[in-house]
Amino acid sequence: MDRLNGKIALITGASRGIGRAIAYELAKQGADVIINYRGSEDKAKDLAEEIEKMGKKAYLAKFDVANFQEVSEKIKEIEREIGNIQILVNNAGIVKDTLLLRMKEEDWDKVIKTNLYSVFYVTKAVIPMMIKEKWGRIINISSVVAFTGNPGQTNYAAAKAGIVGFSKALALEVASKNITVNVIAPGYIETDMTSALPEKVKEIFLNQIPLKRAGLPEEVAYLTAFLASEKANYITGCVFHINGGLYRG
């Protein structure tokens, strides 16, 4: 498939999990991809090699999405050395789960910075390139817990709900520039993030899912690739739920 031929895509947190699957799928559909990561260098390199084998370009971009200065400098470097980013997937995220009563200020700050401030930092740096291109796709990865809540995740749910408001407002600001902004809210997806959950918690989650299984990172990637394509030209400011029926909007 060559739906995304000639496009340059930046995926944050693409060394593992959902971000990795998204980078792979966008490349499979023709895009050249910029793989952002923070610590997992070997994994990011492995992915880049796999993508290059498919005949697409893959660039490594190590930066901390929670650091405004680092983000701005790296995005400027990307613009100079690679070109204008046309597809941005804000995917990088972390959890630091604990009940509010026990939550330390640093648990709150770290999660809000990495999951929400990062979306502002990266998007702000990338948008001028999309305006120049007169075309852009921004896809922000939220979570079902932004809509349902989850005990132990006040920080994470707040950040993920913030992404929804941010995306809806931005979609209105940039619609006239032919830039769309949409949100994907995954449910329980099999990645390192969820493999850390205790078996008992996993079982409770699975029992609540009508399709009776966890989702796969690839399944989130297929939806992302669709939203990044010309086929999704008329969709903006929307939230897409992908959760096996757990929450239906």
Ligand X SMILES: NC(=O)c1ccc[n+]([C@@H]2O[C@H](COP(=O)([O-])OP(=O)(O)OC[C@H]3O[C@@H](n4cnc5c(N)ncnc54)[C@H](OP(=O)(O)O)[C@@H]3O)[C@@H](O)[C@H]2O)c1
Residues marked active site are found at 156
Distance CA 3, CA 21 (A): 17
For ligand X, give the closer residue by CB, 13 or 136: 13
> Applying CB under 6 A, which of residues 7, 9, 15, 47 lies at the interface with ligand X?
15
- Confirm or reject binding of residue 246 to ligand X (CB under 6 A): no
Do 59 and 37 meet the contact criterion of CB atoms below 8 Å apart? no
Question: HSE of 198 in the Cβ direction (CA atoms, 13 Å)?
Answer: 4
- For residues 247 and 242, what is the distance between their CA atoms, to the nearest angstrom? 9
Binding range to ligand X, per CB under 6 A, among 37-45, 98-106, 169-177, 205-213: 37-45
244 binds ligand X (CB under 6 A): no
The answer for residues whose C-beta is within 8 angstroms of residue 92's C-beta and 6 or more apart is: 12, 13, 19, 36, 38, 65, 114, 115, 118
Q: Which one, 97 or 133, has the nearer CB to ligand X? A: 97
Q: Are strands 58-62 and 32-37 parallel, antiparallel or unpaired?
A: parallel
140 binds ligand X (CB under 6 A): no
Residues in 49-108 that interact with ligand X by CB under 6 A = 64-66, 91-94
118 or 180: whose CB is closer to ligand X? 118
Which two structure tokens, joined as six digits, stand for 179? Answer: 């830039």
- Of 17, 30, 162, 244, the one binding ligand X (CB under 6 A) is 17
* Residues of the shown chain interacting with ligand X in the complex, contacts defined by CB under 6 A: 12-13, 15-19, 36-40, 64-66, 91-94, 114, 141, 143, 186, 188-189, 191-194
